[in-house]
Structure 1
Amino acid sequence: MKRTFNVLIFLLLACAVFAQGKAKYVFYFIGDGMGVNQVNGTEMYLAEKNGKIGTESLLFTQFPVAGVATTFSSTNSVTDSSAAGTALSTGVKTYNGAIGLDKDKKQLVTVAERAKRSGKRVGVATTVSIDHATPAAFYAHQASRKMYYEIATDLPKAGFDFYAGSGFLSPDKTYDKKEAPSIYPLFEQAGYSLVKGYDAFKAEYPRAKKLILVQKDNSIPDAVPYAIDSKQGDLTLAEITDAAISFLTKEKNKGFFVMLEGGKIDWACHNNDAATAFNEVIDFDNAIKVAYEFYKKHPKETLIVITADHETGGIGLGTGSMDLNLKALQYQKISQEYLSVAINKLRKEKNHKVSWEEVKALLADKMGLWKELPVSWEQEKKLRDEYENSFVKNVQAFEKTEYAISEPLAARAKEVVNEIAHVAWASGNHSAGYVPVFAIGAGAELFNGKMDNIEIPKRIAKAGGYK
C-alpha cells in the first residue's frame, strides 16, 4: 500500500513538472492602456450597435481563465508604460521611466530572454515604434524610456528572431541629441532583414534568417494608423501577428514566445477619444483571433495570455443618468487626430476664411453631428464658440495630449460626441485601475484570479518551462 502511494505521488509530481513546461508556443498580448472599462465599454458598444442593452463578447473575453492585475510601480501608485512593461517582462517592480532595469538600475532578465535561452524562437511586436516603452522592455536595458537610439542598439544584442512595429523614433541621434551611426547598418550587420509592409514580408520571409517588419511609409515611424483611420495597405496588428507566426514557425520548429502590443489603445485614451479607443480594442481582438486559429491547431501546446500595462484616462461608462448611448460612437468616422488634420486642411484651402456652415458640414460628415446625432443648444454653443475663436478671431489654443497636438475644434467635437454617448474621462493620463487578465491553453490555469502584474511573466515562464 505504501509503495503504491509513493508511486502515485511520484506520478503526480512528474505530471506537475511536465505541466510547468508544456507551453511550446506562447502568445503574450498586451493592450496598452486597456483597463477593465475599455474592454467592457467595447462590448457594450458592440451590443448597442446591434440594438440591444448588454454586451457582445469579444473573442478574448470568452477565454476560460480570467483575472485582474494591479499595476503600481516601485516609485508611483500610478505607473508609466516603461515601469509597467518592465514588470510585465521581468517580474520585478521598478521606477517610472526604467527599461529592463530594477530600481537600482541593475539589469534584469526578461521572459523573452529566458525563452531565447531555453531554445525558443522569440518575437517582439507592436503597433507603435519598436523602440517604444512596452516593446523595449522585453529586449532593452536602459535608464530612460526616452533613450530611443540606445534602446534600438540593444535590439541586435538581444538577438531575437522577429521584431515588428511602425519604425524607429531616433535612428541616428543619441539621447543627448548627438549625431550617431545609423541603427540600420547595425541591424544588417547582425543579420536582420528590414522589410516594409506586409506584402514585402510575404515575399522576403522565406529567405530571411532574422527579420524586422515596419510599415511601408517609414517616414512616419511613430505608429501605424488607428484602426478607425486605417486604409488599404496600412499595416495592422492582425497582419503582424500572422507574420510573427509564419516567421517563428519556419525551419526547425523549436516553439516560440512572442509579445504583441496593441499600443494605440493608450494613445486614444490619452486623447479621451472613446470611439477611437473602442475600435482599437476591436482591432486588438482581431489580432488575438489570428493567434486563436493557431491555438486551435495546437491546443495542447499553445498558451495565449492577454493583459494590459495600465489603464489610461479613467474612462467612465455613464455620466449621471441610468442610460448609455454608446451606439452614437459608430457615427464617428475618424480619430480626433485625423479630424484635426481635416480641419487644418479646410482652413488652408479656404485661406483661413471658413464659414460656420462649412465647419458644420465637415463635423456632420466626419463625426455624425447634426446628421445622425442630435446636438443640444449647449453643445452647439461650445462648438460655435470654438469656431469663433479659431476661425474668426484667429486665437488658436492647440490641444496637447501625450501623443498629439490637435486643432481645438477637433477636441471640442470629440467632447460633444463623448457627451452624447454618455462617456466620461477622469484625466488625460494613466490611472491605477485594475487591468484584465485572460488566458487559454497550456498553463492557462496559472492566470486565474487577482494578481500583481509581476506575477504574469513568472507564470508564463513556468508554463513554458523557461530557464
Structure 2
Amino acid sequence: MKRLLYALLFVMVSVVANGQAKYVFYFIGDGMGVNQVNGTEMYNAEVQNGRIGIEPLTFAQFPVATVAATFSATNSVTDSAAGGTALATGSKTYNGAISVDQSKNPIVTIAEKAKRSGKKVGVTTSVSVDHATPASFYAHQPDRNMYYEIALDLPKANFDFYAGSGFLKPTTTFDKKEAPSIYPVFDKAGYTVARGYNDYKAKSSTAEKMILIQEEGAASDCLPYAIDRKEGDLTLAQITESAVDFLTKGKNKGFFLMVEGGKIDWACHGNDAATVFNEVNDMDQAVKVAYEFYKKHPKETLIVITADHETGGIVLGTGKYELNLKALQYQKHSADGLSNRISELRKSKGNKVTWEEMKTFLSEEMGFWSKLPISWEQERRLHDEFDKSFVKNKVVFAESMYSKSEPIAACAKEVINEIAWLVGLAADTPEAMSRYLPLAQVLNSSARRLTIRKLPNA
C-alpha cells in the first residue's frame, strides 16, 4: 500500500510540478468502497431504467483503475485522518493524525507542493472545512479533533479557495478554552467569507481568496444529505463549480482542487443504504462538473477519483441470489431526516400518536404497505418499537458515529434494507469492514503515462 500510494503521489506531483497537467482534480469519496460504487450503479439501473444491471457512474467509466489496501501505520483499520494523510502525502501515519508522521512532525502535502509550484489551490468538502479529510491537505496537527487549531492552519497554508459546511469549533480550543473567533483571523489573512452560493456569486469577482460555507443559520457540521436536500441548499456540485470559477480567474497558471464527498461515510456509519447510494450519485454530479471542464481542456486536465477507506461493510445480497434495490426509491429521507420527522409528529400530537397514524406516516415516508409489502415479523418489529416509544414512553435513541435516531426510524431503515436484500449491512463500525477499495480512477488525455498497477503485497 505504501509503495502504491507513493506511486500515485509521484504521478500526481510530477504532473503538477512538471506541467504535464495544468489542471488537477482530486476527488475523495469518504468511506466509499467497491460495493458502495457497485451498489449505486445497480440501484440506478433498477430505478432509472427498470432493468437488472448497472447504470455506470461518470467516474466509473474512466480508463484507468486500481485498488489498494488501506491499513494505517498503527492499525489494520484506518480512520479518515490517517487515510486522508496517506492520500495527501503518500505517507502512512497513526490514526487521528493530520499530515504529521508518527513522531508528529509535519509532512508536506501535494496541495502545498502545488501551491509552491505556482498553481492555485482549492480544498473543498460536503462536511466541515476542518474535518479530517480536507484538513489533511492544509493542516498539520497531532489530533483530528483539534478543530480550532486546524482552522488556524488554514490561512497559514495560504490556499486560494476553501469550501464546506462551516467550522466546528470557531471559538473553542482543543482543551475546551474559549478563544478569539477564527473569522477575524481569516479576514486579516485576506479571505472573503461567502455564505451560500448566491453570496459567492456576489463576492467572487472582487475577492482575492475565498472561503465558501453555508448560509447563516445552517448547520456548520455538514451539507444536507442529497436525499434530504431542499431548494436553495448548497450542494457539492455548486461548490465544485465555484472552485473552478474562482481558481481560473485572473492569471491562470492552473490549479489543484481536492473535492471530498464526505457524507458517503456518514450514511455508511448509519447503515442507511438509500442515503449511501444518493450520496455516491451526488459526488458523481460534482465529478461531472470536472468532466465538463476536462472536455474543454482535454490535453491539460487530470481527474483522479479515490477513497480513503470503506465504511459499514455494505453487503449486496444476503442469504439468497437476489437483490431488490428498487425498493429503496420509496425512502423519501435519510434515517436522520426520518427521525426528525418522527420527532415532529410526536411533538405535534403531544406524544399521543396511534399505531394507525404511524402506519400512515411510514407508508408515506418509506412506502411500507402501500408500495412495499412487509412481512408479519417486520410489522411486529415496527409495532414493538412503536409500543415502547409511544405507549410506554421508553425512547432509546439509536446511535451511530454521526447521528442519533428515533428508534422507529432506525427500525424502519433496517426493514427497508431487508426488503432490498441488504440486511448484511454491519452494525456501526469505527471504519472499514473491507480491506480493499478503489485507490484511484483516473481520466487524463495521456492515460498511458498514468497507468498504475497494484503492486505485489501492496
TM-score normalised according to structure 2 size: 0.93
Contact 1:166–1:218, Cα closer than 8 Å, also in 2: no
Deviation at 1:26, TM superposition (A): 0.2
Contact preservation (8 Å) 1:23, 1:443: no
Distance in 2 separating the partners of 1:165 and 1:444: 31
- Are positions 1:427 and 2:427 aligned together? yes
Answering whether residue 180 of structure 2 is matched by residue 181 of structure 1, we say: yes
- Greater Rg by CA: 1
Cα 1:451/1:61, change in 2 over 3 Å: farther
Q: 1:307 to 1:371 in 2, by over 3 A?
A: same
Please, which runs of 5 or more residues in structure 1 have no aligned partner? 1-15, 456-467
Aligned 8 A contact 1:123 1:161 in 2:
yes
Report the CA distance between 1:217 and its aligned residue: 3.5
Q: Distance in 1 between matches of 2:199 and 2:39?
A: 36
| Alignment match, 1:364 | 363
**Structure 2 residue matching 1:312: 3-state secondary structure:** coil
Residue 22 of structure 1 is matched in structure 2 by: 20
Instruction: Indicate which of 44, 47, 56 corresponds to 2:45.
Output: 47
Which residue pairs with 1:37 in the alignment?
35
Number of positions where the alignment pairs a residue of Structure 1 with one of Structure 2:
439
Report the CA distance shift for 1:59/1:384 in structure 2 as closer, same or farther (over 3 A).
same
Whole-angstrom CA distance in 2 between matches of 1:447 and 1:386? 52
- The aligned residue for residue 448 of structure 1 is 452
Cα distance between partner residues in 1 of 2:19 and 2:377: 60
Taking a change above 3 Å as real, the CA distance of residues 133 and 388 of structure 1, as seen in their structure-2 partners, is same
Question: What is the match of residue 303 of structure 1?
Answer: 302
The offset of 1:103, in angstroms, is 1.0
Residue 90 to residue 443, structure 1, CA distance change in 2 (3 Å): farther
Inter-CA distance 219–328: structure 2 relative to 1 (3 Å threshold)? closer
Report what 2:442 is aligned to.
439
Report the CA distance between 1:367 and its aligned residue.
1.0
Deviation (angstroms), 1:218: 4.7
Q: Is the 8 A contact 1:35 1:433 kept in 2?
A: no
User: How far, CA to CA, are the matches of 1:151 and 1:138 in structure 2?
Assistant: 11
Task: Pick which of 441-450 and 339-348 moved more.
Answer: 441-450
Partner of 2:290: 291
Tell me by how many angstroms 1:427 deviates: 3.3
Distance 1:238 1:263 in 2: 13
Q: What is residue 314 of structure 1 aligned with on the other side?
A: 313
Compare 360-369 and 165-174 and name the one that shifted more: 360-369
Uncovered stretches (5+) of structure 2, i.e. residues with no partner? 1-13
Deviation, 1:20, is 5.6
What is the CA deviation profile of residues 127-154 of structure 1, one whole-angstrom value per residue up to 9, with x for unaligned ones? 0000000000000001100000000000
Paired letter, 1:441 = N
**Pairing 1:170–2:169 present:** yes
Q: CA deviation at 1:313?
A: 0.2
CA deviation digits over 1:368-427, x for unaligned, max 9?
Answer: 111111110010011000000110111111111000011011000000000000012123
- Is 1:215 aligned with 2:214? yes
Letter in 2 for 1:284: M
* TM-score when normalising by structure 1: 0.92
Q: Is the 8 A contact 2:128 2:220 kept in 1?
A: yes
Label 1:344 to 1:240 Cα distance change in 2 as closer, same or farther (>3 A): same
Describe the SS at the equivalent of 1:233.
coil
- Structure 2 SS opposite 1:313: coil
Cross-structure match for 1:464: none
Query: Is 2:241 aligned against 1:242?
Result: yes
Q: Percent identity?
A: 65
How many angstroms apart in 2 are the aligned matches of 1:18 and 1:447?
A: 16
Q: Is the 8 A contact 2:151 2:167 kept in 1?
A: yes
Residue range with higher mean Cα deviation, 77-86 or 433-442: 433-442
**Structure 2 counterpart SS, 1:316:** coil
Aligned twin of 2:256: 257
The SS at the match of 2:67 is strand
Identify which range, 431-440 or 173-182, moves more after superposition.
431-440
Divergent runs of 4+, >6 A: 16-19
- Residue identity opposite 2:413 in structure 1: K
Structure 1 residues 447 and 358 mapped into 2: Cα distance closer, same or farther (>3 Å)? farther
1:329–1:421 contact (8 Å) kept in structure 2? yes
**Which amino acid counterpart does residue 425 of structure 1 have in structure 2?**
L
Residue type at the aligned position of 2:387: E
Q: 2: distance between equivalents of 1:19 and 1:264?
A: 31
Tell me how far apart the structure 1 counterparts of residues 33 and 260 of structure 2 sit (CA, whole Å). Answer: 14
| AA aligned opposite 1:100 | S
8 Å Cα contact 2:385/2:411 also seen in 1 = yes
| CA shift in 2, pair 1:309/1:447, >3 Å | farther
| 1:314–1:275 CA distance, 2 compared to 1 (3 A) | same
Write out per-residue CA displacement over residues 5-43 of structure 1, whole angstroms, 9 at most, x where no aligned residue. Answer: xxxxxxxxxxx9999631110000000000000000000
Query: How far, CA to CA, are the matches of 2:279 and 2:206 in structure 1?
Result: 33
1:19–1:443 Cα contact (<8 Å) kept: no
- 1:383/1:18 Cα in 2 relative to 1: closer, same or farther (>3 Å)? closer
Instruction: Return closer, same or farther for 1:51/1:17 CA change in 2, 3 Å cut-off.
Output: closer
The CA deviation string for residues 422-448 of structure 1, in whole angstroms up to 9 with x for no partner, is: 012123122143121211015544253
Distance 2:28 2:44 in 1: 21
3-state SS of paired residue (2:454): strand
Alignment check: 8 A CA contact 1:194 1:211 kept: yes
Aligned to 1:112: 111
CA deviations 1:264-291 (Å, max 9, x no partner) are: 0000000000000000000000000000
Secondary structure of the residue aligned to 2:315 is strand
For 1:412 and 1:426, the matched residues in 2 are separated by: 14
Judged with a 3 Å threshold, the aligned counterparts in structure 2 of structure 1 residues 444 and 128 are, in CA distance, closer, same or farther, namely: farther
Residue in 2 that maps onto 1:407 = 406
Q: 1:198 to 1:91 in 2, by over 3 A?
A: same
- Corresponding residue of 2:202: 203
Contact 1:34–1:311, Cα closer than 8 Å, also in 2: yes
Q: Which residue of 1 aligns with 2:75?
A: 76
Letter in 2 for 1:110: T
